[in-house]
Structure 1
Amino acid sequence: MNTVHLKMEGGRTMARIIENPKQLILSHAKEILYQQGYQKLSMRALSKACGIALGTIYNYYPTKKDLVFEMMTDYWQRFLDAVAEIIAADADIYPKLHRVFNELEIFIRNFRQYWLTPELYGDQAYSDGGLQKDHRFIDQLIDLIAAELTRAAADNTIQIRLGAHETAKFIIMNCITIVQMPLFRYQSFELFLKQLLE
């Protein structure tokens, strides 16, 4: 729990304890971004939406860039947590991979809508830093799939000929391509995958 300064009517501030101020700030920032767009996401608008003093917002996020990167990180982490949950489920590898694909499809569509806007990626600092984070998160996704492939190979349900990491990269890159250019269906890809892994 943290003490934050709340902005009161008349410009006065009052200290109050809020259990998770960073999460409160992030959730309101996402609301503004998703409903009104990047241009409307200002520290002042966020302060007003949260009912937290502007100085307190800056204590947590010194710049708008810091806030945006934290939001992007949170967005990616939620997706990776959902994938980890799918993988932890006790099921055959192919239904798991199909569920991961479905989750990835939703993630990419939303990511494109909210995060790949010209407003956000028009700024070189945002695009460079954001792309570096994207690559790191994609690597984490590949690692999750590689670990599951290794487990399935240890159970003798599949055979990995290219190595778990290379196979996981092949799966994820093809899934991303299928989402972005739906000329090829996942079901057809799964048939190729079964030929590769069995």
Structure 2
Amino acid sequence: MEQIKRPLGRPPQDSKKKPTKTTIIENAIQLFLQNGYQLVSMDDVAKKCGVTKATVYYYYPTKADLFTDAMVQMMLRISDRIADILSTDKSLKENLNDMVKVHLRATFEIDLKAFTKEAKVSLSDEQLQQMNSVEEMMYNVIEKAMTTAIEIGEIPNGNPKFYTQLFLAILSVGNYRDTDQNSIFATIDEMAEHIIDFFWNGIMGNK
């Protein structure tokens, strides 16, 4: 039987292992989050994946391409996780509290503002648009939960997009660190409780 040939230049693939592209993305996400955009090289990614630099370049011609896809894939996973949390039988307030704690634990050691600002100057308009589109999908998941809560009378009638952006703005306070890298509150649970209470009291008003 004639042997099926791989496309010219394609790195060899072991069917028993995770796809090479998936391995590259997962390790790239970790490296970018740990070290920032500028300090991570394609060679760093290759070494962490246990592949050649040529293999990384086969899938991603530039570091900006790799970073863009890494962030897109990360945000898609976050969207799925958010959807899972917000689709439980708990109340919206309980689900949002769970979501805040998951977010804060995942981003505890990351300076999100600096991380995002550093990377954006190196990306093309098209790459930024890719990331913005997926980011909007994450917002839509939360907005859908707000809309449902309005429809069933769990929260007052209002603009669900405004509620969503208000929630995200308050959530960002949880990533604040002073010059000694200390958070506002001692624990993530305490921080989450204050974020949710502030948001909830704000939208519920006198209800």
**TM-score between the two structures when normalised by the length of structure 2:** 0.68
The answer to whether the aligner puts 1:25 opposite 2:34 as a matched pair is: no
Structure 1 vs Structure 2 CA RMSD:
3.5
1:43–1:131 CA distance, 2 compared to 1 (3 A): closer
- Equivalent residue number for residue 176 of structure 2: 180
- Where does 1:1-198 land on structure 2 (aligned, <5 Å)? 4-5=10-11, 15-18=12-15, 19-33=18-32, 41-112=40-111, 116-117=114-115, 121=118, 124-126=121-123, 135-161=132-158, 163-180=159-176, 182=184, 185-193=194-202, 195-196=204-205, 198=207
Unaligned 5+ residue runs, structure 1? Answer: 6-14
Equivalent residues of 2:83, 2:141 under 8 A apart: yes
Q: Cα distance, 1:26 vs. partner?
A: 1.8
Question: Counting helix residues as a fraction of each chain, which structure ranks higher?
Answer: 1
1:125–1:165 CA distance, 2 compared to 1 (3 A): same
Whole-angstrom distance in 2 between the partners of 1:121 and 1:164 = 31
- Equivalent residue number for residue 180 of structure 2: none
1:152–1:108 CA distance, 2 compared to 1 (3 A): same
Give deviations 1:44-67, integer Å, cap 9, x for gaps: 343344343433321210111111
Q: Cα distance, 1:117 vs. partner?
A: 4.4
Q: Cα distance, 1:121 vs. partner?
A: 1.0
Equivalent residues of 1:79, 1:107 under 8 A apart: no
Taking only the aligned residue pairs, the percentage that are identical comes to: 20
Equivalent residues of 2:100, 2:171 under 8 A apart: yes
Equivalent residues of 2:92, 2:149 under 8 A apart: yes
1:197–1:76 CA distance, 2 compared to 1 (3 A): farther
Unaligned 5+ residue runs, structure 2? Answer: 1-5, 178-183, 186-190
Aligned AA (2:146): L
Give deviations 1:118-176, integer Å, cap 9, x for gaps: 9x817722497776566444433331122112112222222223x11112111221222
1:174–1:134 CA distance, 2 compared to 1 (3 A): farther
1:98–1:193 CA distance, 2 compared to 1 (3 A): farther
> Is the deviation greater in 177-186 or in 146-155?
177-186
**TM-score between the two structures when normalised by the length of structure 1:** 0.71
Q: What SS does the aligned partner of 1:140 have?
A: helix
Whole-angstrom distance in 1 between the partners of 2:162 and 2:35 = 40
Whole-angstrom distance in 1 between the partners of 2:69 and 2:175 = 26
